[in-house]
């Protein structure tokens, strides 16, 4: 797989903004982090049962009805399948970042409106606008039975300009799910991508020292 360019972005995100996000972004009472109970449950389970009580069985039922949407491999969501003509402006773990920020190589807002595709087959669990710096978000749960530790992962796409899917919809690998946006004009255009192995967590603040439940997107996609 081609080596991705790694360049520096001037996307500036003041820490006070994320404090406000956590405190005031209460539309529909969104939870912004895994609760202590969730973490205690997850960490005490065997690896094969990595999720909060009832979560795995819920998705087992959903995917049993549509086995053709079980994931076999993963691609990058932009410049499919290998991220061509895009670069990571901010890496996972850089300044506590819980995802990766993907930009077009043209810089600035040249990638505004570019297509964002699902990284794999899956089930859309969330598709709507969230206040306080997130903009439009799409979340997709992927059943991945070949993984040795956890049979489900979640992909998380944020700051979208348009959303092209609906909650409760099955989606194919490479299917258009939205377009790159600016989180309602807050940032320069880019895609914030997260991969999670602890599915159905709260939306979260996007930045944290605690990476529990989060995967490095590029590492995971290139491996699988």
> pLDDT digit string (tens) for 71-94?
999 999 999 999 999 999 999 999
CB of 75 closer than 8 Å to CB of 82 = yes
- pLDDT above 90 (res 70): yes
- Mean local confidence (pLDDT), 156-182: 98
pLDDT digits (tens, 9 = 90+) for 179-209: 999 999 999 999 999 999 999 999 999 999 9
Task: List, for residues 208-224, the tens digit of each pLDDT value.
Answer: 999 999 999 999 999 99
Residue 98 has pLDDT above 70, yes or no: yes
Question: What's residue 146's pLDDT?
Answer: 75
- Mind listing the domains of the chain with CATH numbers? 15-223 (2.70.70.10)
- Who has greater pLDDT, 44 or 173? 173
What pLDDT shows up at residue 132? Answer: 80
Enter the pTM of the model.
Answer: 0.78
Decide: 95 and 12 in contact? Cβ < 8 Å. no
């Amino acid at each position: 797989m081609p080596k991705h360019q790694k360049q520096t972005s001037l996307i500036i995100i003041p820490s006070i903004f994320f404090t406000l996000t956590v405190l005031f972004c209460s539309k529909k009472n969104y939870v912004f982090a895994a609760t202590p109970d969730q973490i205690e449950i997850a960490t005490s389970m065997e690896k094969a049962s990595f999720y909060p009580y009832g979560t795995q069985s819920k998705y087992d039922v959903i995917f049993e009805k549509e086995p053709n949407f079980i994931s076999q491999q993963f691609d990058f969501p932009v410049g499919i399948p290998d991220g061509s003509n895009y670069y990571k402006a901010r890496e996972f773990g850089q300044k506590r970042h819980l995802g990766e920020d993907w930009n077009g190589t043209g810089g600035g807002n040249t990638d505004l409106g570019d297509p964002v595709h699902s990284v794999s087959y899956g089930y859309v669990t969330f598709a709507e606008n969230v206040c306080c710096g997130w903009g439009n978000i799409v979340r997709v749960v992927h059943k991945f039975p070949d993984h040795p530790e956890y049979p489900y992962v979640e992909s998380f796409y944020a700051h979208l300009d348009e959303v092209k899917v609906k909650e409760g919809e099955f989606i194919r690998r490479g299917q258009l799910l939205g377009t790159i946006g600016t989180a309602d004009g807050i940032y320069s255009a880019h895609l914030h991508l997260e991969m999670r192995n602890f599915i159905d967590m709260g939306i979260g603040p996007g930045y944290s020292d605690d990476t529990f439940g989060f995967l490095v997107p590029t590492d995971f996609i290139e491996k699988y």
